[in-house]
Amino acid sequence: MTNEQKRNFLLYSAGRLVSLIGTGVQMIALPLYILDLTGSGTLMGTFSLLSMLPGLIFSPIAGVLGDRRNRKKIMVNMDYLRGIIILFMAYSAYQGWMSIAFIFTAQVFISILDSVFGGSTNAMLPDLVPIEFLTKANSLNSSINGISNIIGPILGGIIYGFGGIKVVFLINGISFVISAISEMFITYVPHFEGKQKISFKSMFSDIKEGLVFIRGRKGLKELLLFALVVNFLMAPILTIVLPYVLRQEIGFTSEQYGITQSSFTVGILIGSILIGTIFSKSNPKKSMTLGLTVEAVMFFIISGLFFPNIVTKFGGASWTFLIILYINLMIIGVSNAFINIPIDTNMQKMTPTNVRSRVFTVLGLIAQGAVPVGMQIYGILLDLMKGYQIALFASIVSVIVIILFLKIAPEETFNPKPVSEEA
């Protein structure tokens, strides 16, 4: 990489790190504040929905903006706007104006701004670094996500405990402004000439163009279908079944359960570091195959750990059981990095910059859209079956899906040519 590319990547990474840590601080503190204020679990759930759903719905439009407008300007402006909104929330809390309705309304806007920020920044990365550095850049990016997911919630709990919600908003708002200032110094040449006209008609046409592009690329379609099915099957195991089993069936304390929540993120961070250093030049198919195999084995082991006789053997909600579970979940996080980083890199290689934002947001919408459906179904199943039965069934089905994917997916899925090399 040239010195300018290194500087750009450093500024890009620093901006994302500060933004994501600030988001993590607020996302852990606000539900606590809502619970302290109202004592309502339903309102906490509503806040979680508002944190995700508006951005998910808006993501295709965010993709169009990322392809038709300067991605650097979007990145900077979204950080400034989020900073202003959150600083106003700090002022409102200080003045005593804060209400649940105000928090929910602000969160809808923040969720949409998050979506626009993500749609541009994810597509911007391949424009900042040379193609041969892309895998390492994605691993560093994943490490930043992991670090922020560990530091943000920890800081959020500490800051909220000592300073209250006013200080949380103040620190988070300032963090977004600092992030925006750092991003302003990125040297970035837009991928188009002039200003692209956007109308409702052109917006729907652009979204359709992204869908048509995906449909015309077998490698992308295979990755999307695989991500859709695996997210549907396995994501709810970690977000719905695991908490239910640990708290309701095994009887972990809230402190023990809290400790397990860092395991997956720590694993992703370790995996990202390994890919960015030791395995940076490994064959993507070998990395993905290794990650998928290890992840499948670990899910089978965790399913086995949930069996009542195994739980009893380890003394129920004991620290021995927690340590064994923590190690297994951490290994799943490591293997997840070995799967997702090559997938992200390959998608970037397969997608030209002029449609990259639209394609990525459509891919994300479809792949992530399966998660809430899976969560709802698994939640219903938990009233009808034991957690270990659901985990075992999902593990068996996922192994079948993995075998089919590795057998059927074309070579382009694992080792795509960069777009510039194709006719």
Model confidence pLDDT, tens digit, residues 318-355 = 888 889 999 999 999 999 889 888 888 887 787 887 77
Dist CA 69 CA 194 (whole Å): 9
pLDDT for the residue 202: 64
Integer Cα distance of 243 and 208 in angstroms: 39
User: Which residues does 142 contact at the CB level (< 8 Å), separation at least 6?
Assistant: 268, 269, 271, 272, 275, 337, 340, 341, 344
Please tell me whether residue 50 adopts helix, strand or coil conformation: helix
Rounded-to-integer distance, Cα 352 and Cα 420, Å: 8
Residue count (the chain): 423
Structure tokens at 134: 């892309």
Structural contact between residues 27 and 152, judged by C-beta atoms closer than 8 angstroms: yes
Q: 287: Cβ–Cβ under 8 A, 6 or more apart, which residues?
A: 275, 279, 338, 339, 341, 342
Segments of the chain with pLDDT less than 50: 421-423
Compute the chain's Rg from CA coordinates: 22
Q: What is the pTM of this model?
A: 0.67
pLDDT in tens, 258-287: 677 678 888 888 988 888 888 777 888 888
pLDDT score at 422 = 43
Cα angle for residues 214, 191, 122 (degrees, 5° grid): 55
pLDDT tens digit string along 367-400?
777 777 777 788 788 788 888 899 899 999 999 9
Q: What is the reported pLDDT for 317?
A: 83
Which pLDDT score is estimated for 258? 62
What letter represents residue 344's amino acid?
A: D
| Cα(34)–Cα(36) distance, integer angstroms | 5
